[in-house]
């Protein structure tokens, strides 16, 4: 079974630009989560999508947005990039039924976003 | 407010020593779930265990054991007879309503 895949592996941008990160969940998983892991910090919850809808978001400004496609893959968009957006962005997927029961999330390898 | 605290930033032990990673959480939910994840140097996050708030039974899986105590809002993780391959960052997480909250992680260094 293929795991959660994220692309690109690395992304280098400059301040003010826009970045798009992509995630493909495990086959059969309908929920996709996005997290930010900044250097020296823990994982911060960004967004949760399920069945194409945004279910919840963490304490991040509106320039962090995303969407989920009919095939359950997802994009994370970050507009007006700032230096502090440099981080590892992790995507995870789970079955929604399991999520309601607190099921485990399966993580991808992440996209390293560097802002110059 | 929901919060997970892992006070130990970094721990170093010698192989075969036992080590306990602490996790303290805050939540107002009566139903919640607690998790431990391992992040080895390669970066991927690996799910280790899930516990729901109604099940305070301690669990043992091989060299790993978990001690869940609601009275102290703690969910500690013990590795017995540590090995070099246990070197990683370990994250404790809390699942509240529709959100996950992670601790800042504890980096475990196991030296041969």
| Dihedral sign for Cα atoms in the order B81, B82, B83, B86 | positive
Q: Would the pLDDT of B91 be above 90?
A: yes
- Indicate the residue of A90, A102, A107 with minimum beta-carbon distance to B33: A102
- Which residues in chain A are contacts of B98 at CB distance < 8 A? 48, 55-56
B43·A48 Cβ contact <8 A: no
Name every residue whose Cβ is closer than 8 Å to that of residue A104 and which is 6 or more positions away in sequence. Answer: A94, A98, B35, B47, B50
Asked whether the bond before B61 is cis by omega within 30 degrees of 0, the reply is no
Who wins on pLDDT, B42 or B27?
B27
Spatial CA neighbour of A24 closest among A49, A57, A46, A56: A49
Region B56-63 average pLDDT: 85
Spatial CA neighbour of B80 closest among B110, B101, B100, B105: B110
Give the pLDDT band of residue B22 (cuts 50, 70, 90).
very high
CA-atom Rg of chain A in angstroms: 13
A45·B100 Cβ contact <8 A: yes
Could you tell me which chain A residue has the CA closest to the CA of B97?
Answer: A100
How far is it, in rounded angstroms, from Cα A33 to Cα A94? 8
φ and ψ at A79, to 5 degrees? -95, 160
Residue A2, pLDDT score: 74
Give the pLDDT band of residue B97 (cuts 50, 70, 90).
low
CA B55-B59-B62 angle, 5° bins: 160
Mean pLDDT of chain B: 90
3-state secondary structure of A87: strand
pLDDT in tens, chain A (116 residues): 678 999 999 999 999 999 999 999 999 888 899 999 887 667 888 998 988 999 888 889 999 999 999 999 999 999 999 999 999 999 998 876 555 555 677 888 899 999 99
Residue A102, pLDDT score: 55
| Interface residue A39 vs chain B (CB under 8 A) | no
A42·B44 Cβ contact <8 A: no
- Indicate the residue of A42, A48, A104 with minimum beta-carbon distance to B105: A42
φ and ψ at A112, to 5 degrees? -90, 115
Give the pLDDT band of residue B50 (cuts 50, 70, 90).
confident
Residue A97, pLDDT score: 54
How far is it, in rounded angstroms, from Cα B2 to Cα B8? 19
């Amino acid at each position: 079974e293929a795991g959660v895949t994220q692309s690109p592996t690395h992304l280098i941008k400059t301040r003010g630009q826009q970045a798009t990160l992509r995630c493909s969940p495990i086959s059969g998983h309908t929920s996709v989560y996005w997290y930010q892991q900044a250097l020296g910090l823990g994982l911060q919850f960004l967004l949760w999508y399920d069945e194409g809808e945004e279910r919840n978001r963490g304490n991040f400004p509106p320039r962090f947005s995303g969407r989920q496609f009919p095939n359950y893959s997802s994009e994370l968009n970050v507009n007006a990039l700032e230096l502090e957006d440099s981080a590892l962005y992790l995507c995870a997927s789970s079955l929604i039924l399991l999520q309601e029961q607190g099921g485990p999330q399966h993580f991808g390898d992440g996209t390293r976003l560097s802002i110059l | 407010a929901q919060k997970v605290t892992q006070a130990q930033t970094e721990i170093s032990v010698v192989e075969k020593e036992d080590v306990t990673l602490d996790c303290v959480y805050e939540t107002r939910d009566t139903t919640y779930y607690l998790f431990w994840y391992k992040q080895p140097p390669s970066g991927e996050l690996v799910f280790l265990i899930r516990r729901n708030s109604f099940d305070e039974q301690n669990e043992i899986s091989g060299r790993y054991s978990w001690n869940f105590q609601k009275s102290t809002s703690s969910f500690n993780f013990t590795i017995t007879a540590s090995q070099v391959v246990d070197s990683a960052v370990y994250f404790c997480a809390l699942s509240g309503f529709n959100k996950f909250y992670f601790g800042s992680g504890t980096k475990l260094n196991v030296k041969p």
